[in-house]
């Protein structure tokens, strides 16, 4: 472990942050390989954590080894063997699980030879299995694939650490009791199972892009973890166009992050953003993924949303955005994925193309939609259009409704400013 040739110089100490950056990337791959080998998520997590602790002890002193993944794998497997030697009952149970797993799918040759195959795709599908509650899928992905600790996952989902710990334990028990297979679905199953994986990743991103509550509008670390997970998926499933669409969509949205808030964290709307602060490198990467997502057959929802985001990012300002094309894409998206939120966004685009009265008429058609009750963006959109039509009393009522529903302080502050502007003389 970290041995040096005789006479070789002792490497300078590396900062802990550099060491953590290395095993941040290795964590999910290591955990997946260990779950595949031993058939038990708890054991795999334990020895993965112990191997990482050993790395934090040795690597800052000895240097990061040339093959950090292999070093971690060797260390973790030794610790797992030690654990199984101490606990014969546990070892016997795992042996049964292992035999069952091997009957359905043999151990990859690379693992038998002591390498570290990239089995994270299997772990993605295990974490997002339809037998698990939807609220547990994203939590497991952050815990297992992003390598976040339970307290960090709890913060991501805005619940107490104890609550998240119970949720993760419950999900692991479900995987074990339901004998959820640790494998990639076959070609016939993949179209039905992949959307659940993508939705779990996008849910993580959405909470990072627009936090549901708290003092900040954005939670950039969470959005960046989702993008990292999507990059892994893109490498593992390069032929899946919706994976390209999801990654492109998130990059094109996240590219605006620096312009979305002001110096004090206040909300800055799209029409007021300094587009010079948008991340052009990220936009270019996202733009390259859009045609990949849209060509070769029927486009999927993420590919269409990426195309919409691309039109926004390519425009010089709000006025020169290609609103007819945005509306046309929302028409496609609404056919692919009928949803009141998609209909709401389409209505806002129609208002930009045809005027506020046309957009408001579409919003009013959604007034009885149960899924939009209690949804702050709906009330905010109505208020904005009513204000543009000089229907100030109605706009104020809609802003007050949105204010009661808004989850973050920057949103509430923005709505209070809009209300105050309506009270100004001449408004």
CATH number at residue 414: 1.25.40.10
Same domain, 7 and 97: yes
Give the total number of structural domains in the chain.
Answer: 4
pLDDT at position 32, please? 85
Residues 285-309 pLDDT 10s: 999 999 999 998 889 999 999 999 9
Per-residue pLDDT of the chain (427 residues; tens, 9 = 90+): 333 333 333 344 445 555 566 666 677 888 888 888 877 888 888 888 888 888 888 888 888 788 888 888 888 888 888 887 777 665 555 554 454 444 344 434 333 333 344 688 888 888 888 888 887 888 888 888 777 778 878 877 768 889 999 998 888 888 877 778 777 777 778 888 899 889 888 988 988 888 777 788 888 888 998 898 899 899 888 999 999 999 999 999 999 999 999 998 899 999 999 999 999 999 999 999 999 999 988 899 999 999 999 999 999 999 999 999 999 999 999 999 999 999 999 999 999 999 999 999 999 999 999 889 888 999 999 999 999 999 999 999 999 999 999 988 999 999 999 999 987 755 5
Query: Domain range spanning residue 389?
Result: 339-427
Same domain, 296 and 390: no
In a domain, 47, yes or no: yes
Same domain, 144 and 212: yes
In a domain, 133, yes or no: yes
In a domain, 330, yes or no: no
In a domain, 112, yes or no: no
Same domain, 27 and 78: yes
Same domain, 271 and 298: yes
Same domain, 361 and 402: yes
In a domain, 20, yes or no: yes
Same domain, 101 and 158: no
pLDDT at position 17, please? 52
Same domain, 140 and 51: no
pLDDT at position 19, please? 57
In a domain, 116, yes or no: no
What is the number of residues in the chain? 427
Residues 105-160 pLDDT 10s: 443 433 333 334 468 888 888 888 888 888 788 888 888 877 777 887 887 776 88
Of 75, 105, 135, the residue that ends a domain is 105
pLDDT at position 92, please? 54
In a domain, 56, yes or no: yes
Same domain, 180 and 244: no
Same domain, 232 and 131: yes
Average pLDDT of every residue of the chain: 84
Same domain, 279 and 200: no
Same domain, 314 and 364: no
In a domain, 418, yes or no: yes
pLDDT at position 94, please? 55
CB neighbour burial string for 216-230, b if at least 16 within 10 angstroms, e if fewer: ebbbeebbbbbbbbb
pLDDT at position 376, please? 92
């Amino acid at each position: 472990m970290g041995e040096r040739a005789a006479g070789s110089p002792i490497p300078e100490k590396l900062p802990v942050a550099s060491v953590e950056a290395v095993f941040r990337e290795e964590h999910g791959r290591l955990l997946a390989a260990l779950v595949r080998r031993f058939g038990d998520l708890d054991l795999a997590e334990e020895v993965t954590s112990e191997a990482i602790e050993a790395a934090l002890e040795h690597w800052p002193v000895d240097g990061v080894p040339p093959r950090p993944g292999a070093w971690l794998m060797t260390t973790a497997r030794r610790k797992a063997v030690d654990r199984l030697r101490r606990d014969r009952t546990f070892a016997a149970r795992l042996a049964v699980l292992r035999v069952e797993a091997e009957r359905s799918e043999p151990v990859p040759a690379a693992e038998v030879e002591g390498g570290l195959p990239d089995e994270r795709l299997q772990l993605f599908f295990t974490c997002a299995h339809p037998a698990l509650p939807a609220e547990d899928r994203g939590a497991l992905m952050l815990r297992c694939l992003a390598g976040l600790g339970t307290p960090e996952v709890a913060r991501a989902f805005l619940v107490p650490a104890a609550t998240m710990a119970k949720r993760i334990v419950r999900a692991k028990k479900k995987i074990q009791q339901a004998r959820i297979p640790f494998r990639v679905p076959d070609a016939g199953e993949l179209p039905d199972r992949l959307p659940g994986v993508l939705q779990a990743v996008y849910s993580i991103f959405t909470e990072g892009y627009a936090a549901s509550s708290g003092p900040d509008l954005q939670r950039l670390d969470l959005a960046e973890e989702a993008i990292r997970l999507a990059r892994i998926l893109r490498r593992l499933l390069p032929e899946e166009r919706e994976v390209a669409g999801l990654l492109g969509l998130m990059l094109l949205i996240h590219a605006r992050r620096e312009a979305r808030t002001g110096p004090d964290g206040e909300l800055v709307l799209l029409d007021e953003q300094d587009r010079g602060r948008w991340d052009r490198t990220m936009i270019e990467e996202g733009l390259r993924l859009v045609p990949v997502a849209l060509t070769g057959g029927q486009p999927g929802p993420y590919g269409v949303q990426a195309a919409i985001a691309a039109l926004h990012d390519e425009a010089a300002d709000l006025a020169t955005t290609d609103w007819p094309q945005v509306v046309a894409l929302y028409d496609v998206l609404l056919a692919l994925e009928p949803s009141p939120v998609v209909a709401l966004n389409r209505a806002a685009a129609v208002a930009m193309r045809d005027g506020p009265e046309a957009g408001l008429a579409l919003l009013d058609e959604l007034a009885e939609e149960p899924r939009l009750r209690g949804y702050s963006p709906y009330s905010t959109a109505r208020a904005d259009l009513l204000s543009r039509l000089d229907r100030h009393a109605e706009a104020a009522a809609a802003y007050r409704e949105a204010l009661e529903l808004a989850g973050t302080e920057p949103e509430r502050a923005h709505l209070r400013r809009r209300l105050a502007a309506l009270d100004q003389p001449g408004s």
